[in-house]
Amino acid sequence: MTVARLALGLALTAVLAGGCSSDAPEAPSVAPTAIPTSEPEPEPEPESELPEDVTGEVVDVRVNDLSIVDSGLHRDGAEADVSTPPDAAAIDAAVGAATAWLDGHLTDLVGGGAGSIEADGLTGETAALTVGLTDPTRVVTHARYAFTVGARGLPEWVHVTVDLDRHDDSEASATFVFLPTAEGVHLLAARPTAETSP
Amino acid sequence: MIGWHHGPGAHARPGPLRGVAVVALVFALLGTGTAAASGGWRLPVGDGQPLTLLLLGSDMGPPRDGVVERGNADGFQLLFVSADRQHATIISIPRDAYVPVPGLGRQRINACLQRGPERCVETVEALFGLDVDGYLLTGMRAFSRAVSRFDGIEVEVPRALRVGNTHIAPGRQNLSGPEALVYARDRKSRPDGDVGRSRAQAELLATAHRQVVSDPSPQAVLHALGVLRRHSVTDLSGPELVQLGFEALRLPPANVERATVPGSYGFAGRASVLFLHDSAAALVADAAEDGRIGP
């Protein structure tokens, strides 16, 4: 994008510079003659705008401690009765992977695609869920992701509440649950929550 | 990345709805397909294989001395789930069952836990020719706290029960954690003793499943899974447990069967033990095949 803008800027600069040149042809001194033409050319149709990528806003990240402290499995306060500190880097990575998954999924839907749910192994009814969230006629204007991550040190599940505003002033929300994997996250389950009209 | 909050009771923020009319729950608009739906969830369909889990309750760990992973497994249940996760059977094995325990000779089956939960897995695998996919083990105080954090468990108590100073009156009621522990432990008040206690443990498991399925909201499901995770020792990974928990949402409570391995009481030396009938192996093999008893 930056390179293109730079090239365009250079081109405009060159044109303007040429227009100011002393070598520019003088304006004709006689009245212009009308040149008969055929039908005026139709206005070119505006190119359909490609929908912008959806970039969700992470509005909240909470950690649900799954460590065994105070569980009664061990005597309270004993050496084994310990809380396992959450691994902040791993949690951030899981949240980042889930955010990327959701952004990609929603962007694909806005562009008329089928989204990423079937690719994660959930088929059939799940695919229909995607229709309820967004499509080319109801483009996402704002996506908010609120995360809760279950962790015993490392993240064990990632729960996301997704709230969408759409350009027709309608809204939709849904819940997604991901499992962390070595490669990122894997969609485990999804649950639509609600849809509202403008 | 924004800062994150940390706490055992953390909940996701509710989604904002800007005062417009709710048109419909989205899931009501959904079509049909191959993915499972339960309580609005779109769920995985499992890995296409039946599942076998060994569920153990230790008599060690708080309030007693000793570690929960050693002791006697007075709770001993095999859970079989069908490949499509639509049927399940809990087979109760009374702790008095007198069986070969690898490395310990013929013993009450609960003795296997003296060598750790893995030895209990070996025991049932050798006894019934099974492949156990994983175990979950809890202790007395952990069980009691889990039930309390699960907001109790509702059962029909058939007769007055008591362990120590904790009594339960007959009738339908929501048992607190300590009361549920009595329900799971008391054998002396039951006419069928250890066999009746073992059945009661299976009843609690089936009831807990029914309660989870009855409220499939995301917060409730993840809370229940968190309780299970925090109050048990298992060889399953956390994500594996979550996966199985969500698959359990597909399982209709009415499709959960329960049975107790058949046997007859006798004596091994001076100890009263349960000699399993030959039909016990057939019962277990039947349940292991497809999570169901019978055709």
Helices B177-185 & B193-214 angle (0-180, nearest 10): 140
Instruction: For chain B, give the number of residues.
Output: 295
Question: Chain B closest CA to A72's CA: distance in Å?
Answer: 4
For residues B283 and B91, is the Cβ–Cβ distance under 8 A? yes
Please answer yes or no on whether B30 and A125 come within 8 Å at the CB atom.
yes
- Which H or E run includes B273? strand B271-276
Taking CA–CA distances from A89, the nearest residue in chain B reads B1
Which residue among B12, B42, B44 sits closest to A191, beta carbon to beta carbon? B42
Query: How many other β-carbons are positioned within 10 Å of the β-carbon of residue B52?
Result: 23
In this predicted structure, the answer to whether residue B37 has a pLDDT above a threshold of 90 is no
How sure is the predictor about B36, in pLDDT bands with cuts at 50, 70 and 90?
low
Region B65-76 average pLDDT: 95
For residues A165 and A194, is the Cβ–Cβ distance under 8 A? no
Which residue among B10, B25, B138 sits closest to A192, beta carbon to beta carbon? B25
pLDDT, position B10: 42
How sure is the predictor about B240, in pLDDT bands with cuts at 50, 70 and 90?
very high
B70 to chain A: which residues are within 8 Å by CB? none
Tell me the C-alpha distance between A49 and A31, whole Å. Answer: 42
Which residue among A63, A144, A192 sits closest to B6, beta carbon to beta carbon? A63
Residue (of A70, A65, A95) closest to A80 by Cα position: A70
Q: Is B16 helix (H, G, I), strand (E, B) or coil?
A: coil
Pairs of CB atoms within 8 A across A/B: 228
List strand residue ranges (DSSP E) for chain A, in order. Answer: 57-65, 140-152, 154-166, 171-180, 185-196
Which tens digits make up the pLDDT trace of B138-159?
999 999 999 999 999 999 999 9
pLDDT, position A1: 38
Mean pLDDT estimate for chain B: 87
A189 to chain B: which residues are within 8 Å by CB? 41-44, 246
Tell me the C-alpha distance between A66 and A152, whole Å. Answer: 5
Q: Is B259 helix (H, G, I), strand (E, B) or coil?
A: strand
Which residue among B10, B29, B243 sits closest to A132, beta carbon to beta carbon? B29
Contacts for B77 with CB less than 8 Å, ≥ 6 apart: B54, B55, B56, B90, B91, B92, B93, B198, B201, B202, B205
A71, A126, A173, best to mutate vs chain B, most B CBs in 10 Å = A71
pLDDT, position A46: 54
List strand residue ranges (DSSP E) for B193-255, in order. Answer: 233-234
**Of A48-52, B46-50, B221-225, highest mean pLDDT:** B221-225
Please answer yes or no on whether B7 and A65 come within 8 Å at the CB atom.
yes
Strand partners, A157: A150
Query: How many other β-carbons are positioned within 10 Å of the β-carbon of residue A155?
Result: 28
By the 10 Å C-beta count (0-12 exposed, 13-18 middle, 19+ buried), B121 is classed as: buried
**Chain B 123-152, residues with CB within 8 Å of chain A CB atoms:** 138-146
Q: Is A96 helix (H, G, I), strand (E, B) or coil?
A: helix
Taking CA–CA distances from A147, the nearest residue in chain B reads B12
Q: B171 in the Ramachandran plot: left (φ > 0), alpha (ψ -120 to 50) or beta?
A: left
Q: B128 in the Ramachandran plot: left (φ > 0), alpha (ψ -120 to 50) or beta?
A: alpha
Please answer yes or no on whether A148 and B40 come within 8 Å at the CB atom.
no
pLDDT, position B19: 26
Residue (of B141, B294, B106) closest to B231 by Cα position: B141
Which tens digits make up the pLDDT trace of B102-135?
999 999 999 999 999 999 999 999 999 999 999 9
Sheet containing B51-58, strands listed edge to edge, beginning at the edge strand earlier in sequence: B233-234, B134-138, B51-58, B73-81, B88-92, B256-260
Backbone phi and psi for residue B155, each to the nearest 5 degrees, phi listed first: -140, 165
**3-class SS letters over B119-186:** HHHHHHHHHHCCCCCEEEEECHHHHHHHHHHCCCEEEEECCCEEECCEEECCEEEEECHHHHHHHHHC
- Report yes or no for ipTM above 0.90: no
Please answer yes or no on whether B62 and A72 come within 8 Å at the CB atom.
yes
Tell me the C-alpha distance between B95 and B120, whole Å. Answer: 12
How sure is the predictor about B26, in pLDDT bands with cuts at 50, 70 and 90?
very low
Radius of gyration of chain A (CA): 28
Please answer yes or no on whether B229 and A179 come within 8 Å at the CB atom.
no
Give me the residues of chain A with pLDDT under 70, please: 1-51, 118, 120-132, 194-195
Contacts for A6 with CB less than 8 Å, ≥ 6 apart: none
Backbone phi and psi for residue A23, each to the nearest 5 degrees, phi listed first: -80, 5
A91 to chain B: which residues are within 8 Å by CB? 4
pTM of the model: 0.82
pLDDT, position A40: 62
- DSSP per-residue codes, B74-108: EEEEEEEE-TTSS-EEEEE--TTBEEEETTTEEEE
CA-angle at B190, arms to B185 and B194, nearest 5°: 55
Please answer yes or no on whether A197 and B23 come within 8 Å at the CB atom.
yes
In this predicted structure, the answer to whether residue B30 has a pLDDT above a threshold of 70 is no
Q: At B83, list the tokens.
A: 């490949």
Question: Chain B closest CA to A130's CA: distance in Å?
Answer: 10
Which tens digits make up the pLDDT trace of A34-68?
445 556 666 665 555 556 799 999 999 999 999 99
In this predicted structure, the answer to whether residue B219 has a pLDDT above a threshold of 90 is no
Q: Please report, for residues A103, A144, A190, B107, B153, the alpha-carbon distance to residue A55 in angstroms, rounded to integers and kept in the order given.
A: 6, 9, 20, 62, 43
Which tens digits make up the pLDDT trace of B255-269?
999 999 999 999 999
Taking CA–CA distances from A72, the nearest residue in chain B reads B142
